Amino acid sequence: MSVLIVGSTALDSIKTPKSANPRLLGGSASHAAMAASFFGPVNLVGVVGDDFPRRYIQLYERHGIDLEGLQRVPGKTFHWSGEYESNMNNRRTLLTELGVFETFTPTLPAAYQRTPFVLLANIAPALQHHVLDQMRRPRFVAADTMDLWLKVALPDLLRLVKRLDAFVLNDSEAQMLTGEDNVFVALKKIHRLGPTYVVVKQGSHGSILSSPRGLFICPAYPLPKVVDPTGAGDSFVGGMIGYLAAAKGPIDDHIRPAMIYGSVVASFCCEGFGLQRTTKVTRAQINQRVKELERLTRF
C-alpha cells in the first residue's frame, strides 16, 4: 500500500571540521520519503522554490516518489545550514532561511486523500493537522516532531498526538514532553496522550517501542564511522512506515521488523552527507544489514 509523507523539503548546507557540503537535498520529508521508497510507493507533500535543482527532482523520481503533491512556487527553497563538531554529536545551526516554506499550506491532490498510510514527518503541528484534516479514513497515521514544536506549539502538538496511531520522538523530546528522565515512565505518560504505539529514538543506542504487545528494544546498526547524522531520525521513521505499508496483516505483527528496517536505513543515512549514501543503497544491502542485526542481537 502507499504512504503519504508530508514534511520539509529543503536544501541543507552541512559543515564539519573537515568539509563543507553546500545545498544538499534535505528536509524531514525528503529523508523519510527516500527511506520509505525502498518498500513501496510514496506520495510526497512539500514545497520547493524555483531555485530547487532539477537533479533533486530527478532523484525523487528515480526512487519512484510521486511528486504531484510537491508544490513548486516562485521564491527560495527552505535552506538550513549547520555545523557538526568532530565527534558528530554536537550540532549547531548556522542559518535557517524559511523561504517558500514560510507560507506553505499542504493542500493534498485528490488522488492522495485516500492513501492508507500517513507519515506526518517533522513540520509544524498545525500543518500536520491540516494534512490529516484532508485525509479520508487512513489506516495508519504516524507523526514525528522536534523540540521546537514542544516549545512554541505545544497545544497544537498535544491535540495532534490524540489523532495518531504512532508517535515517534527522540529521548530528549520525550523527557521535555513528560518531565520524566526515565524513558519507560515517559513512554507510559505519552501513551496516555493517545497513541497506540510510542517510539522513543535514542540515536546510536537504537530506539524503544511501547505497544499493546509490550516493549520492544530496537538496536541501532553498529557504525564504526558516522559521516553525517542529519536526517537519520527521519530515515528511521520513513523506513519504518514504508515497511509497515508494504506488509500484510495487523500492524502488531510487523512493527518490530519495521523498526529494524528503519534502523538499518538510518544507518546508511549516517554514512554519507545528506542523502548521498541512502540514494545509492539497494534493497539487498538493506536486507543484508537486517540479517546482521539479527545475528548481533541473538543470544
Q: Contact positions toward a second copy, by CB under 8 A? A: 87, 89, 181-185, 188, 202, 204-205, 208, 214-219, 222-226, 256-257, 259-260, 294-299
* Contact criterion met (CB below 8 Å) for 141 and 133: no
| Sign of the C-alpha dihedral computed for residues 32, 246, 217 and 285 taken in this order | negative
Q: How far is the CB of 252 from a second copy (least distance, A)?
A: 12
Q: How far is the CB of 105 from a second copy (least distance, A)?
A: 39
φ, ψ for residue 268, nearest 5 deg: -65, -40
Closer to a second copy by CB, 89 or 285: give it: 89
Closer to a second copy by CB, 23 or 254: give it: 254
Q: How far is the CB of 192 from a second copy (least distance, A)?
A: 14
* Contact criterion met (CB below 8 Å) for 147 and 172: yes
Closer to a second copy by CB, 157 or 258: give it: 258
Q: How far is the CB of 298 from a second copy (least distance, A)?
A: 7
* Contact criterion met (CB below 8 Å) for 131 and 115: no
Rg (C-alpha) for the chain, rounded Å, is: 18
Closer to a second copy by CB, 91 or 159: give it: 91
Q: How far is the CB of 153 from a second copy (least distance, A)?
A: 27
Q: How many CA atoms lie within 13 A of 244 on its CB side?
A: 28
Q: How far is the CB of 24 from a second copy (least distance, A)?
A: 23
* Contact criterion met (CB below 8 Å) for 144 and 5: no
Phi-psi region of 23 (alpha: psi -120 to 50; beta: other; left: phi over 0): left
Closer to a second copy by CB, 88 or 146: give it: 88
Closer to a second copy by CB, 103 or 297: give it: 297
Q: How far is the CB of 19 from a second copy (least distance, A)?
A: 18
Closer to a second copy by CB, 112 or 221: give it: 221
